[in-house]
Amino acid sequence: MEIVKDILKVDELKGYEEIETLVDTEIYLNQTKPDIENILWVDGKVEILSTKIIRDKVLVNGLIKFKVVYRSSEEELNIYTLETNSDFREEIEIEGITEDMIGETGYKLEYIEYDLVDERKVSLNAFVTLWGKVEQTNSVEIIGEVKEGQNLQFLKERIKYNDIFAREETYVLLKEAFEIGEELPAIEEVLKIDLHPYEKEINIS
């Protein structure tokens, strides 16, 4: 009798947790900026700079890029922008995880509050939800086939599984340019940019 075995790699979810964090900062106008009359809007983008798994915790380092658009009453072209960054370091506690496991993190920027302290100072508070998911890849040995077993009876079971071949990350730099029509005035400053990438097609070769 010959037993043919196979090895499966199976992902096991070890834990998932969410935490809430408040990131605050202040912006002071430099001497080249005119005084603030009123704030038109505030925007922010979260960037996760690094993550590290230690025992029972996922360490997350990141920053928020704030942008404030305001109006001033001092000049004719009276819309201006302010930008600043504020970093954060948080711990997501997931009991039972260890350094050799695979982690994934994400975020959701819930909202940003602002307070115009005076005509030269703005206070900003960003409320962010961070989540962490940790998996462990286990190798499971199964019996795929038994040869030369005429006098044996077998109970077979059909299973479906996804076999993990490899895990990789890559980065791509996207560039695009466009021109405005001649009938429109020249751009002095870009106030806001929205980018929404998505997967259109996936090919494996």
Question: pLDDT tens digits, residue range 116-150?
Answer: 999 999 999 999 999 999 999 888 787 777 776 66
Overall pTM surpassing 0.95 (yes/no): no
Q: What is the mean pLDDT of residues 139-168?
A: 72
Instruction: Report the range of poorest mean pLDDT among 15-29, 131-145, 160-174.
Output: 160-174
| pLDDT at residue 108 is higher than 90 | yes
Supply the mean pLDDT for the chain. 87
| pLDDT at residue 179 is higher than 80 | yes
Better pLDDT: 163 or 64: 64
Burial class (CB in 10 A: 0-12, 13-18, 19+), 51: middle
| pLDDT at residue 164 is higher than 70 | no
Paired tokens of 131: 């989540």
| pLDDT at residue 198 is higher than 70 | yes
- For the chain, give the percent of residues with pLDDT over 70: 94
From the list 68, 33, 63, 34, the residue with the least C-alpha distance to 48 is 63
pLDDT band at 163 (very low <50, low <70, confident <90, very high): low
H-type helices in the chain, by residue range? none
Beta partners for residue 140, in sequence order: 8
Instruction: Report the range of poorest mean pLDDT among 45-59, 76-90, 93-107, 162-176.
Output: 162-176
- For the chain, give the percent of residues with pLDDT over 90: 53
